[in-house]
Chains A and B, each alone.
Chain A
Amino acid sequence: MALLEIKDLQVKYGVIPALKGVSFSVEEGEAVALIGANGAGKTTTLHAISGIVKKAGGTITFGGQDITNKPAHEIVGLGISQVQEGRGIFSNLTVLENIRMGAYLRKDAKGIEEDMGRVYRMFPRLEERKSQVAGTLSGGEQQMLAIGRALMARPKVLLLDEPSMGLSPLIVETIFRTIKRLNKEEGMTILLVEQNAQMALYAARRTYIMETGEIVRSGLSKELKNDDAIRKSYLGL
């Protein structure tokens, strides 16, 4: 059974349907991407999983447990951490404080210390800037901080919402290399939402394509990458 299973998920903003019955699954240790244009419902899907938006129908199961109607702060405790679109770092707090706050729900001081070392090894730039106020970091560094902070909760699944947003191509590459490494070397389960299809297909093993609140295609990333229709409409090749 898949670690994260979404069945017929529906979300409405007022009367307007944002998700019209989305179903997909993420296996343990897998990296999965949702790609699609603006307004396809990618972010809404992530928000529904992490409990930020109310669901109009469908179920979400995580590790066999129904989490459809759990509040956001409890879902984090179960092991689902989300890195928000636009990063959502605490701009007035220092880098170190941001990272530490990521471990808010944990009590094991030693484990927290270890994980801080792990985050610093992954993003040495954050260690250099640990006493700096997070709002003064560059966009790329803020994205690193957001990912590092989410990892501090020791999640079983990491939800990433548009990690490429507003970043220069070079930084986007660095971030995605890290995401891939996180998945391949540390076995972190990742669900990634992205407009940058090329990067998403690079990092994820499987990819779902969304259009106006529905999943229209899915498959292994390496196959989708070579599909003509997808190359045309999503990769611009």
Chain B
Amino acid sequence: MKLNTLFLGLCGASALAFAAHAETITIATVNNGDMVRMQKLTDDFTAKNPDIQLEWVTLEENVLRERVTTDIATKGGQYDVMTIGTYEVPIWAKQQWLLPLDGLGADYDAADIIPAIAGGLSADGKLYAAPFYGESSFVMYRKDLMEKAGLTMPDAPTWEFIADAARKMTDRAADINGICLRGKAGWGENMAFLTAMSNSFGARWFDEKWQPQFDQPEWKNTLQFYVDLMKEAGPSGASSNGFNENLALFQQGKCGMWIDATVAASFVSNPKDSTVADKVGYALAPDTGLGKRGNWLWAWSLGIPAGTQKAEAAQKFVSWATGKGYLDLVASKEGWANVPPGTRTSLYNNPEYQKAAPFAKMTLDSINSADPTKPTVKPVPYVGVQFVAIPEFQGLGTTVGQLFSAALAGQSSVDDALAGAQTASVREMTRAGYIK
């Protein structure tokens, strides 16, 4: 480091020079709105902890995941706090790459964390990452179009109802699609949606012996239903639509319904960005009466890598960013509607929050109805609702996602896509040693 500093002194290096007494912790975050807001509120933390300086690395989701995973797995030691999701936590905790969060302070009130979320972030009863915001998925729909179609959305619809409504709401001439769903290939794109959906159809990725289940009728029902529905009532270009694309379509009034992350509710109901802000209703993700709903569970969380030299400062920061005080801080500066959702029960009991966020109850109900430890109708050997928390899943999920997006685009049949998915899964799982 010294040598480099000297060398680069020529070039006017300034970033390396910090006040000697202050400890600097480097925080890797994802560039979602809530996280960006946290950066702006940093002053509150540094005022309370003058001996700690914060250095931010903000990256988009996929790049962030690559960066932090490479770094923690090679013990690169570049970060003191990492933003990770419910997918990483169980895998990393098993490798003992994360410090258990036991020093968050007396007033942290870990019991206040929504149980479903805490469950997804814990291993052996210890919390390994603190949730910054949590989300499930639910149905967002246009009340006006629903009325026009002569239907009433129940609080807990079935897939049958959704399909029926989607077909009735579709008006190609007016450029209105009954339903917008994710179609872009990727484990966190279409597969997040389809895996959650398949849970409600009674499907599962693997049986208890890690045998892939794409050759089972439940998966066939799921994928066929999805492809048919999208063909009749979905937007053009659905096979390259992810969260953003559907958000834009919905905000421009081109979707009757949209099933996606609960955090989208604050976007579509914000009159500044959305042309349909006052017409949006919410309902739980649909089911087929088998006892599981098609909604997922995700929490962007703050974890501390085991190799850090600054564990104490890092814990202080995590405690600040995910504590109750932070929610109050955001509420006082930016209003209750902008508070990071989905982490604490107390927030949902707060009448002011309920008033500011009409989707609050539905969000909480959605989160509570997802169970990462028992995600499916039939038993499975894995945890994770819209993913399988094994290291192999990102690659495999993307492969399967590619095949399913081809079925959606009409370039292959549903049967071919499923057969391909089965072959790819058996291959990958055999190699990784799950199938003996």
Q: Do A and B bind each other?
A: no
